[in-house]
Amino acid sequence: MSRPGWRQRIEAARLVREATSRRRVRRLVERRRGMRFFVDGRELLNFSSNDYLGLSQHFTVASALQDGAAREGAGATAPHLECGHHAAHQALEREVADWLQVPAALLLGSGYLANLAVLQSLLGEGDACVQDRLNHASLVDGARLAGCKLRRYPHADAEGALRQLRAHTGGMAVVATDGLFGMDGDLAPLRQLAVVARVQGALLYVDDAHGVGVVGPEGRGSVAAAGLDHVAVPLQLVSLGKALGGYGAVLAGDTALVEHLAETARPYVHSTALPPALAHASLVAVRQARSQEWRRERLQGLIATFRALAGTAGLDLLPSDSPIQAVLVGADHAALAMSADLEDAGYWVGVVRAAPGQARLRVGLSALHTPAEVVGLVEAMARARDRVAAASPSPDPTIPEPA
Ligand SMILES: Cc1ncc(COP(=O)(O)O)c(C=O)c1O
């Protein structure tokens, strides 16, 4: 019998990643203090995290985790529907529902699992999931797991969503979009999408992993910022691992939907519940995020500083009023070289390799950064851009390209 061997398979895949500058490496964080990270033996100022409000090391959040662990131990010991549903989980669900002004909420192990859960439990063969082209990978994977038709529309194009829905009749449809896009930091056109979904009888699901805590009144996220409620958006995803600084996710919205998910979503039913101590810590983080408006105000000040300076320095900024600021670089190798140059200067900035020729540097701002640190970052980015351009001059336009 001839079968492809697994070693040859993975070696071929590795070579492709290498040839296309797509290798991924883990960096070892030895310790950290605020936004100062000690990485692979170097101290770097971190601009690549999602700790937008600076809550991940907040002493009240960390003490809640310690108290919770002292009382409840390290783990939940079972899924929610067995013996793993604890009072701390329920208290967190109630707190998030109250914050977002929705009737019900359900705690899941992670945002990735939550997206698999929602789409797998709602959709099947003959149904459609209509998605923004720049949605997070977990939404795409959720639709694949559901076995429904996956239809994608151009980024932030509500009319494109309408066209896709019109082309699919006869089955149920979900329109799924990031609320605040994790790659570029821009907002989805939620008001238009809500109209499209209503007219087409589709369910609008908003993955607001990056928006909750950051935008909207009381940090309630992009749905609230758009003036929408749980009737227009029956379900949304809240990440506990980004602005809230912990780990896990909460699905928030309509009661019947949440109850359906709790009984039928396989990633919920068949997975161990989040450690109750973590739920306890997230409850404290939610209260801080909700009440401490100064964190969002501080963040807005840093965003304005970054955009003004980056604009003056001639960096190619993509539109965003959020703590995610993307600078378009172009070729993958140029973005990687800029990131390496920034690291030599003491800054950690991630690279997003989107479509070919569209690589970006993704800057994640946090309320813990200082204005002076942001000034230093922009100066270092401009220097990195100039050095990388000087090292690889653009081709002489008088010399014809090889055929
Ligand atoms: C938009 C979006 N949804 C979901 C996820 C997955 O969330 P988690 O990291 O909790 O699995 C992410 C993670 O980056 C994300 O950006």
For 351-377, how does the pLDDT look when each residue is reduced to its tens digit (9 = 90+)? 998 888 899 999 999 999 999 999 999
- Domain for residue 16, yes or no? no
CA distance 233 to 102: 10
- Judgement on whether residues 237 and 277 belong to the same structural domain of the protein: yes
pLDDT of residue 205: 98
Token duo for residue 49: 């995290």
The band of 393, judged by pLDDT with boundaries at 50, 70 and 90, is low
Indicate the pLDDT class of residue 144, thresholds 50, 70 and 90. very high
Beta carbon of 177 within 6 Å of any ligand 1 atom: no
Q: Tell me: do 131 and 258 sit in the same domain.
A: yes
Three-class DSSP category at 30:
strand
In a domain, 15, yes or no: no
C-beta 138 within 6 A of ligand 1? yes
101 and 126 fall within a common domain:
yes
User: Does any domain span residue 397?
Assistant: no
Please tell me the predicted confidence (pLDDT) of residue 262: 98
Q: What is the pLDDT of residue 261?
A: 98
Q: Whose CA is closest to atom 16 on ligand 1?
A: 182
All residues at 6 or more sequence positions from 292 whose CB lies less than 8 Å from its CB, including other chains: 53
Residues 261 and 383 both lie in one domain: no
Structure tokens at 151: 């239809």
Which of 269, 291, 313 is the last residue in one of the domains? 291
Instruction: Look at the chain and report how many structural domains it folds into.
Output: 2
- pTM here is 0.95
Amino acid at residue number 88: A
Average pLDDT over residues 198-204: 98
The reply to whether 218 falls in a domain is yes
| Mean pLDDT calculated for residue range 337-361 | 94
Residue 398 is predicted with a pLDDT of 43
Find out whether the beta carbon of 185 lies less than 6 Å from any atom of ligand 1. Answer: no
Task: Say yes or no to pLDDT of 166 above 80.
Answer: yes
User: Is 278 part of any domain?
Assistant: yes
Residue 227 alpha carbon to ligand 1 centre in Å: 23
If asked whether residues 319 and 286 sit together in one domain, one would say: no
Is residue 205 domain-shared with residue 120, that is, in the same domain? Answer: yes
For residues 131-155, average pLDDT: 97
Q: Whose CA is nearest to atom 4 of ligand 1?
A: 111
Residue 39 has pLDDT above 80, yes or no: yes
Task: Classify residue 403: in a domain, yes or no.
Answer: no
Whether the predicted pLDDT of 392 surpasses 80: no
What is the CATH classification number for the domain harbouring 41? Answer: 3.90.1150.10
pLDDT at 160 exceeding the cut of 80? yes
What is the rounded CA–CA span in Å between residue 386 and residue 337?
Answer: 11
Binding site membership of 110 for ligand 1 (Cβ less than 6 Å):
yes
Q: For 317, which DSSP code?
A: B
Cα 322 to Cα 306: distance, rounded to the nearest angstrom? 11
Instruction: Give the pLDDT score at 396.
Output: 45
Q: Please indicate, yes or no, if residue 363 is contained in any of the structural domains.
A: yes
The alpha carbon of 195 and the centre of ligand 1 are apart by a number of angstroms equal to 26
Q: By residue range, what is the domain housing residue 367?
A: 22-53+293-391
350-352 sheet: strands from edge to edge: 324-330, 359-364, 350-352
- 43 and 170 assigned to the same domain: no
Question: Do residues 75 and 210 both lie within one domain?
Answer: yes
pLDDT of residue 400 exceeding 50: no
Ligand 1 centroid from CA 136, angstroms: 7
Contacts 24+ apart (CB under 8 A), 14-21: 20/332, 21/332, 21/333, 21/336, 21/353
Nearest residue CA, atom 10 of ligand 1? 111
